[in-house]
């Protein structure tokens, strides 16, 4: 059945990618891609990619009518990202954004094509791929020019490679995600757990090599790592978009806490690591006496990202990693548990305009704040349901 569905799936993916590509190319959009490309282009002019003033000058030249964007932009990616985006810096802007969107969708479709599913249930692959490609988050992410479509595809490609006994190939795919290390951090223990020492060490080596390449492309390779750390530590929270106090679209647990009347807590590195530690502790307790299913481990690790990290809604696309778990657990899992998981999947993808309209309809107050934080509750719910599912088979 899967073979019969492959061609329609491929055509559907191409049609969807083409439609989103066209949407993402209309108007002066893909602001985030422009910022990433501008940061990577600064070293080509002998400048530091973390030179905030030079970056803002480039952004002002393209988006002169967006003073808030100009004041709140920054290149907060690792030196590895300089190597990733340098090829796009050589292209004219229109060609660069077309190439980036095409590459991102090609990788995502390839990852969905290679989605690991249990034997005898191959039809799940095309069905889940259609679900992922129909996600309303995709057009939003594409119009921003964000990295998440590409990263979601690489996440699935890496998992598919490791599941098929190709740990080094999987590590290479996963290494690209470390241009956003806070998002990719769970992949490091997952690489060792799923692919063994060879996979884990290959991932570390690939990340180091990618960053060395980014350093080599910069005018001050020895000073750039410290520049990056200073820039992230001193500038990230100066951007209003990155603060839960000003952005109800952030997905982390502290946004749900604030919306519910709790204290204002801005997550730094310490808060993020503490959140990951809690998830690891709960996951370890759930795995006591159980041989964990690889699909469950990946789902937990990736579902923890939008909860533990103070990130925008577009990173919720990464929860595509729960799809192999759904395929592995149906049938065999009570339908209502998977239905609840599906409900949170839908909630995370509700358009911002719809959420804002609902919030306005209920009027000012606590309910309005709760509605505005719906993506945070979707992230928490997804992680909670995945942790509640059985980790695997009991050891004899």
Q: How far is CA 277 from the centre of its chain?
A: 20
**What span, in angstroms and rounded, lies between the C-alpha atoms of 227 and 74?**
13
**What span, in angstroms and rounded, lies between the C-alpha atoms of 396 and 392?**
12
Query: Is the CB of residue 174 less than 8 Å from the CB of residue 155?
Result: yes
Q: Is the preceding peptide bond at 38 cis, omega within 30 degrees of 0? A: no
Rounded to 10 degrees, the C-alpha dihedral 256/259/260/262 comes to 90
Give the pair of three-digit tokens for residue 115. 């989605």
Query: Is the CB of residue 195 less than 8 Å from the CB of residue 230?
Result: no
Tens place of pLDDT for every residue, the chain, 396 residues? 445 666 676 677 667 666 666 665 666 788 999 999 999 999 999 999 999 899 999 999 999 888 888 888 888 899 999 999 999 999 999 889 888 988 998 899 889 888 887 766 666 777 778 888 888 888 888 888 899 999 999 999 999 999 999 999 999 999 999 999 999 999 999 999 999 999 999 999 999 999 999 999 998 888 888 888 888 876 666 676 778 888 888 899 999 999 888 899 888 888 999 999 999 999 999 988 888 889 999 999 999 999 999 888 889 999 988 888 887 777 777 778 888 888 898 899 888 888 878 888 887 788 888 888 899 999 999 999 999 988 877 654
pTM of the full predicted structure?
0.91
């Amino acid at each position: 059945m899967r073979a019969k569905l492959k061609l329609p799936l491929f055509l559907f993916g191409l049609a969807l990618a083409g439609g989103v590509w066209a949407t993402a190319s209309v108007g002066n959009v893909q602001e985030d891609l422009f910022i990433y490309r501008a940061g990577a282009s600064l070293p080509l002019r002998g400048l530091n990619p973390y030179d905030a003033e030079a970056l803002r000058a480039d952004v002002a030249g393209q988006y002169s009518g967006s003073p808030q964007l100009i004041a709140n932009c920054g290149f907060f990616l690792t030196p590895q990202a300089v190597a990733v985006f340098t090829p796009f810096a050589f292209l004219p802007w229109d060609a660069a954004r077309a190439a980036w969107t095409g590459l991102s969708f090609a990788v995502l479709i390839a990852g969905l094509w290679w989605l690991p599913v249990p034997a005898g249930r191959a039809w799940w692959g095309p069905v889940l791929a259609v679900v992922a490609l129909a996600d309303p988050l995709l057009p939003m992410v594409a119009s921003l020019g964000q990295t998440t479509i590409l990263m979601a595809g690489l996440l699935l490609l890496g998992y598919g490679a490791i599941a098929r006994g190709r740990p080094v190939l999987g590590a290479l795919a996963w290494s690209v995600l470390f241009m956003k290390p806070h998002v990719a951090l769970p992949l490091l223990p997952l690489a060792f757990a799923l692919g063994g020492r060879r996979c884990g060490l290959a991932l570390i080596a690939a990340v180091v090599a990618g960053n060395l390449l980014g350093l080599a492309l910069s005018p001050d390779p020895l000073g750039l790592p410290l520049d990056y750390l200073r820039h992230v530590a001193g500038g990230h929270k100066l951007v209003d978009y990155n603060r839960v106090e000003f952005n109800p679209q952030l997905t982390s647990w502290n946004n749900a806490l604030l919306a519910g009347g709790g204290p204002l807590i801005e997550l730094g590195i310490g808060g993020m690591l503490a959140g990951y530690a809690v998830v690891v502790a709960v996951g370890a307790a759930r795995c006591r006496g159980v041989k964990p299913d690889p699909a469950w481990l990946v789902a937990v690790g990736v579902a923890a990202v939008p909860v533990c990290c103070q990130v925008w809604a577009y990173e919720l696309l990464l929860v595509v990693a729960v799809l192999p778990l759904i395929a592995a657990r149906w049938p065999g899992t009570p339908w209502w548990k998977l239905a609840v998981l599906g409900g949170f999947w839908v909630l995370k993808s509700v358009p911002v305009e719809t959420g804002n309209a609902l919030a306005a309809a209920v009027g000012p107050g606590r309910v309005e704040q709760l509605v505005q934080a719906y993506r945070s509750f979707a992230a928490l719910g997804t992680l909670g349901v995945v942790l509640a599912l059985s980790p695997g088979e009991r050891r004899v």
